[in-house]
Structure 1
Amino acid sequence: MVADTAIRAVHRLTARWCADLAPDGGTVFTAAGLWPLLAALADGADGTARRELADAVGVPAEGAAGHARELIAALRRLPGVGAAIGLWTKPGLPVSASWTARLPADVHEVLATDGAQARLDAWAARHSNGLVESFPLEVTEDTQLVLASALAVRTEWLRPFVPSVLCPEAGPWAERAIAALYRRTALLDRLAVADTPAGPVSELRVLGTGGIDVHLLLGEETAAPGQVLSAGLGLLARRHPRVTGDLLPYGTPGPGVTVSRSLAYRPEQWLDVVTPRFTVAAGHDLLRSPRTFGLVAASCPDRGHFPGIAGDFPLAVEAAAQNATASFSARGFRAAAISAIAVAAGGIPPKPPYRVREVEFRVDRPFGFLAVHRTSRLVLAAGWVERPDEEPSGLYDSLEDGDGDDTDAW
């Protein structure tokens, strides 16, 4: 189980990142992947850099590297999650043995003069299950140390969605044929509408294997991406009141939600979901917003900031980046991210006999998502979808068990 201290700290960093979001075409990021790197740096920093990094990671700098090691170990124990840390240093850099001892074992390698970038790209591909093919930063002649982390998340839906097509009549996706996914379930409480600081937000929880779920978040059209994602974090922390689909009033009680009565052949109530299939990828230059990540002072090259890492050898952050990707399909969800910091210098039937409650959730404009470990509520990845997948060829190819009769599989 992931420790509560680490979960709170990661979510705090996630919230800081959300507040700084300005997605263009959609984005995906993982604070859970970046946090161990910042914590490790905080442990080895001094002065203003140490204070800023400690504030960003939300734990005291002293012992922060130990928390990073524990978080990586906890992530590795979660089914469907892979995590790793890598450390490379140039020959001759006097790296502190006590600092490296607080990192996961056997991560320290030599930063070779020749072929270093190819080796780092191979490390990124291997630890992201091939989802991220290139390392997020380039090594320069001045690079003395590279600290990186990898986080890969994989879950299969308990029952697959059914491929469909979504053709919105209005909004940013109007008159487009969107590759969509459809599900019907009798479990109306998988959908809820919450009252949040960003206004009403509709949340759909899609349960997957390995205890990993994906929460789809649809806010009002005027709500900013960061506000909607922050509302999702508040829902995880139970800070916002929410009303589940079985208790929602008739009409349109939330974004994308319609509640009505309909005729049916069985007395069950239904939740119908139509949502886009998507793949998003993003590259983040963390030094564009250094204050968010506690890297203002640490990236100042006028002096050294990490005596706990390399003693008197002056080190400053020269680059910090994350490459991430996520996909939501009929069968499941995949996400991966590599973070790195470089330090330098649907006949007529008989009339249905029952009138039942029917809830529809239709996502036909930009929305957010959170990939969450169900038990601990740790957010493994977060993102915003502005450009869903277009209708592909072979859209109606059959799926195993994908007949749409998902009455209790969520």
Structure 2
Amino acid sequence: MGAAFDVAGQSVYKPRTFFCIMQKLSTTLFFSVLFFAGCKIEQPLAPPQPITAVPEQPVMMAPANVPPKPVAPPWQDLVFPTAQTGLLSGDLRVFMPANPAHPDSGLFGTVRNGAKGLSRFHEGLDIAPLHRDRRGEPTDEVHAVAKGVVAYVSSVAGNSNYGKYVVLLHNDPVGAVYTLYAHLASLAVKPGQTVQPGAPLGVMGHTSSSAIPRERGHVHFEIGLVNNERFAYWYRAQKLKPDHGNFHGQNLTGVDPLAFLRWQRQNPEGSFRDFLATQPAAFELVVIPAHALDFFRRHPALWEGAAWRAGAAVVLSCTENGLPLKGRLATEAERRSLGRTRVAVTKIDAAVLGRNGSHLVTPGRRGWMLGQSGEHWLSALCY
């Protein structure tokens, strides 16, 4: 109030003093702080890591009518992930089997049996140690196989079946190619660091969210492509944990490392794109995506023919574990095969699919269809 009364009872105006004004402001500020302190302020999701390759030569889509700058394949100076040089010798003793009764269970592919006798896919190569200390711990140093950039380092062993692991990205005409080195005992690199062939990444170990015994210490090695730059958003939308951003194992699809190493020995100037052209597809499906697939935005060399347009059906030719080897627009006949659905498995190569350890596709009453794992895979790929 701005009025007061004199001794005669007459109303007179007295201006507010500076002290009164400051006192009221302080009171207002106090209750404002209490109000906001009790409110939960939602923070926006942190953007996922961009899937780029070596900083000095980022692999990106070129503008229309502008040819992309040529990228030299990084594999000419390829080295093995450890000092183990017998990877191509055919001697299975250089690998670490998951089951000693099955020496090939350390290789890539459907080489393992899971629960209830179901076949299980192993998406990498488990390389055994050459050296151990007095306690039996592996001491082999793990190396970068080619020039690249450290894209991701997971330093908490219990956050992944990979344990402590490192992901590198390498420039190639096909786009960014990843290599992964898992179950490390210690780490020697940080994200953003550029590494040369043979650079130390860490020491071999047996770290994992599931127990790996000391005697089975090894490095799990992968090479392949990243599925979707929006994967982290898809993963977080489902409130899944732990969060490894775009470099979660579900977003990394590998090829057979031994097949690539053998091919590279015979084609030292070749690119990863050239290698993928030699790989047969295990299945083919038709799908109507909600938008253009990020995979082909980053790997345009794997897309054939006319560009995708809204509402168009797409044909994907994929490996057993779901790596798209090529994509194109569906023909009218292929689109009609969808009927009222948005996805249909149209072709299967039984010889390539083999024991089908990934279970992305499964036989049904009316032919082959996506299994539960396949629906999960396609949802993340098309997000």
> Do these two structures clear the TM 0.5 threshold for a shared fold by scoring above it?
no
Whichever structure has more strand as a proportion of its residues is: 1
Larger Rg: 2
Calculate the TM-score normalised by the size of structure 1. 0.19
